[in-house]
Amino acid sequence: MNPELISILILFVSFFLLLFLKVPVAYSIGISTTITLVLSIPFLPAMTTVSQRMMTGLDSFALLAIPFFVLAGEIMNQGGIARRLINFAKSLVGSLPGGLSFVNILAAMLFGAISGSAVAAASAIGSTMTDRMVKEGYPKPYTAAINITSSSTGLVIPPSNVLIVFALASGGSASVAALFLAGYVPGILTGLGLMLASFFFARKMKLPRGERVPFSQLWKDFKGAFFSLLMLVVVVGGIVVGVFTATEAAAIAVIYAAVLALAYKEVKFSDFKHIFLSSAKTNAIVTFLIGTSMAMSWLFSFESFPQYITDLILTNISNPILILLIINITLLIVGTFMDITPAVLIFTPIFLPLVTEMGMHPVHFGIIMVMNLCIGICTPPVGTLLFVGSGVAKVKVTEVIRPLLPFLFTMIIILFIVTYIPDLALWLPRLFGF
């Protein structure tokens, strides 16, 4: 066995051992990277190299977008935007069988897209919708399952922090603007798939439908949600047409969200102290994760691991359909025990050279990777959304698993459709010349 492969084996064994011992993911990544490097070079140079690679990885203008989007999402979470989106969604789809399921899905898609945060969507929409749905006779575990899966769509529909992270990990081969455009169709398809699944459940469980609202009420609710929805046009539209960069768009999103929250009178100036503190804590965790993940990604390149994987797979498997199936299954498994940000940063350098060698577009692969990992954050044992959604609904995680499975299966079906029909992700970027 060659020395490079031994180093990578040590890296993965130490990493998974630390995870098994319940060491936080960011520390597991940093410690396993340092241990592996120490076996090749002396201790002090190894420590210095890891520190330098962490700082170099964070030295990116594009990464400034993430703390701004996190702050914007935090402001929206407390700014009355969720309630207005729910009212609009209820007027739009509440009269369908199991109407509140549709309302939950549509509102979570809209809020997740506007805030760029799946956790914020699950918290804001779930805390409002759970009581409404339970009062109408919806089982609480089913309500939690709907909220958990639908909230993940906000990571595919732009603006999305995870897509920005993938753009960084791709080394510039996939631009943020192209990824944002590519996320619309797959994200909306996922939401529609969840709605279709909920429709069948509504018929089977004989869940109630709401009353059809008159057009005047629909128009009133649309006007109430208009400025919240307009944020999507301003932020994503500005990036696509080249008015501003993703980082500048994120700063504009913060100002827009703050003005809107103050205008709605849901947030006072004194509340911003708590909002800034909360977003700073989130950003500290995310930044440290990115730093350690970038150090591990550098180690992969240093040991030529991506090239080894590419040569190994292409030498033994020539069928692109089978290769994509293997990659999808691997990422689905990875998503069950690793958070989405480090997973993108660690596995993009491994799989991206392989798929580009096959002729796949990097933007297409970015959407596939994010869709895979979105399913992962809804599943045990580490699924962030699973625990947030269960906590918001005040129901045990074990009770949510059974109603969750059909929705996860639906998401996997949509994933494979997008995987093998590239135009679903690429036609919008191509339309705008990316």
DSSP 321-361: HHHHHHHHHHHHHHHHHS-HHHHHHHHHHHHHHHHHHHT--
Rounded Cα distance between 192 and 116, Å, is: 19
pLDDT given at position 226: 85
CB distance 402 to 148 below 8 Å: no
φ/ψ of 136, rounded to 5, equals -85, 0
CB distance 119 to 388 below 8 Å: yes
pLDDT given at position 193: 94
CB distance 384 to 377 below 8 Å: yes
Rounded Cα distance between 265 and 251, Å, is: 21
pLDDT given at position 125: 80
The residues near 45 (Cβ < 8 Å, ≥ 6 apart) are: none
pLDDT given at position 27: 86
Would you state the structure tokens that stand for residue 249, as one six-digit string?
Answer: 């768009």
Region of 394 please: left (phi>0), alpha (psi -120 to 50) or beta: left
Number of Cβ within a 10 Å radius of residue 287? 17
pLDDT given at position 44: 76
CB distance 247 to 64 below 8 Å: yes
Residues of the chain with pLDDT under 70: 1-4, 94, 209-210, 381-382
pLDDT given at position 417: 95
